[in-house]
C-alpha cells in the first residue's frame, strides 16, 4: 500500500505544513511560544531546525519542547504541532529507517514503523526533560523499532504446535481452519482498489477530515490486516487510546460523507 511508504508519508507531511491553512495554524502557535515567534513563517522555522551548521541548541530545544507541549495538550493545535514535529525530525527519522534495516519479512516498510514510534515518543515524552530533545527522541525511536523487530523475529522462530482437534471438537463446530481460509495472492483488481483508496485518503487528509496519522492507522488496520491490538503492542501505544483514535476517525468520516453537500463536492 503506497500510503505507508516513506515517500507517501513525506508528501503528506510536507504538503500539509506548507499549505496556507497550516501557515495560519503556525501563526496561532507562535502566539504561545516565544521560540516559534522568532521566525517569519513555518518554512523558515523548518530550515533553521534542519540546518546542522546552526548550533543554537538552546533555541532548538525550546522550540521542540513548545511543540511537544502543544502536541500533547492543545485541543486546537495538537495535531498540527505533532505534524510539524515530524517534519522537523524528518532527517533523523530518515536515517533511522535505514539503520534498522534489514527489517523482518513481515514488515513492508521500515519507515512506517519509525513514524509510528516517533508519534509514540512525542506523546509519551517526559516533560521534565528539556535537554537534547531531538537526540533523545531519535535514540528512543530507534530502540523501540529494534525491539519490535527483535520481537517479531523471536515469534517467527517459535515452533508451531499442532492443535489436538478431536472428532468431538469438529462435531461441536469448534474446529477452525481449512484451505478456504488461506489467502491467495493479490489480484490486479485488489491492487487497483488499494491505490484508489490511498488516493481518497490523501484527499481526506488534505481536506482536514482526518490526520495523516489516522490515515496511516486506517491503512494498517484495513488494507494490511493489522489488528489494532497488534498495532498498539508493536508501537507501545495504549490499546484503548488507539481504539478511540480509530473510532473517532471513522465517526468523522461517517459524518463527513453523511453530509450530502460535502460528500457530493468531495466525490465530484
Q: Is the dihedral of CA 97, 42, 121, 234 positive or negative?
A: negative
The one-character DSSP state at 222 is I
List the domain boundaries for the chain: 2-157+188-267
Mean per-residue pLDDT, 200-205: 76
Separation CA 239–CA 208 (nearest Å): 25
Residue 196, Cα to own-chain centre: how many angstroms? 20
The one-character DSSP state at 103 is P
What are the distances in angstroms from CA 56 to CA 59, 63, 81, 90, 130? 6, 11, 21, 19, 14
pLDDT value for 261: 56
CB 229 within 8 A of CB 7: no
Residue indicated by cell numbers 503528506: 12
Q: Write out the E strands in 48-199.
A: none
The one-character DSSP state at 2 is G
Mean pLDDT of all residues in the chain? Answer: 78
CB 77 within 8 A of CB 36: no
Q: Does residue 267 surpass a pLDDT of 70?
A: no
**What are the tens digits of pLDDT across the range 128-179?**
888 889 999 999 999 989 988 888 887 766 554 444 444 443 333 332 333 3
Name the nearest CA neighbour of 67 among 21, 28, 114, 96.
Answer: 28
pLDDT value for 252: 83
Phi-psi region of 177 (alpha: psi -120 to 50; beta: other; left: phi over 0): left
Separation CA 176–CA 179 (nearest Å): 11
Q: Above pLDDT 90, what percent of the chain?
A: 31
Separation CA 96–CA 114 (nearest Å): 7
Q: Sort 21 into a burial class: Cβ within 10 Å, 0-12 / 13-18 / 19+.
A: exposed
HSE, side-chain direction, 13 A CA sphere, residue 31 = 6
Separation CA 215–CA 246 (nearest Å): 9
Q: Sort 48 into a burial class: Cβ within 10 Å, 0-12 / 13-18 / 19+.
A: middle
- Choose the most confident range, by mean pLDDT, from 53-57, 96-100, 233-237: 96-100
Amino acid at each position: 500500500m503506497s500510503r505507508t511508504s516513506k515517500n507517501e508519508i513525506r508528501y503528506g507531511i510536507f504538503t500539509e505544513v506548507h499549505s496556507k491553512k497550516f501557515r495560519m495554524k503556525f501563526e496561532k502557535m507562535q502566539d504561545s511560544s516565544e521560540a516559534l515567534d522568532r521566525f517569519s513563517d513555518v518554512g523558515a522555522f523548518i530550515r533553521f531546525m534542519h540546518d546542522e551548521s546552526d548550533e543554537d541548541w538552546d533555541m532548538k530545544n525550546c522550540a521542540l519542547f513548545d511543540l511537544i507541549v502543544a502536541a500533547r495538550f492543545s485541543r486546537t493545535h495538537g495535531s498540527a504541532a505533532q505534524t510539524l514535529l515530524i517534519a522537523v525530525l524528518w532527517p533523523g527519522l530518515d536515517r533511522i529507517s535505514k539503520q534498522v534495516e534489514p527489517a523482518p519479512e513481515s514488515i513492508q516498510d521500515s519507515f512506517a514503523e519509525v513514524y509510528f514510534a516517533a508519534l509514540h515518543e512525542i506523546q509519551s515524552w517526559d516533560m521534565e526533560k528539556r535537554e537534547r530533545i531531538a537526540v533523545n527522541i531519535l535514540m528512543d525511536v530507534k530502540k523501540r523499532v529494534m525491539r519490535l523487530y527483535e520481537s517479531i523475529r523471536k515469534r517467527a522462530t517459535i515452533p508451531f504446535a499442532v492443535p489436538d482437534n478431536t472428532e468431538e471438537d469438529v462435531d461441536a463446530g469448534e474446529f477452525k481452519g481449512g484451505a478456504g481460509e488461506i489467502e491467495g495472492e493479490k489480484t490486479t483488481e485488489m491492487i487497483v482498489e488499494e491505490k484508489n483508496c490511498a488516493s481518497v485518503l490523501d484527499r481526506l487528509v488534505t481536506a482536514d477530515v482526518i490526520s495523516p496519522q489516522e490515515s496511516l492507522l486506517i491503512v494498517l488496520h484495513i488494507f494490511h490486516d493489522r489488528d489494532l491490538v497488534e498495532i498498539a503492542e508493536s508501537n507501545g501505544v495504549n490499546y484503548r487510546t488507539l481504539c478511540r483514535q480509530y473510532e473517532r476517525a471513522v465517526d468523522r468520516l461517517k459524518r463527513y460523507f453523511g453530509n450530502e453537500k460535502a460528500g457530493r463536492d468531495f466525490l465530484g
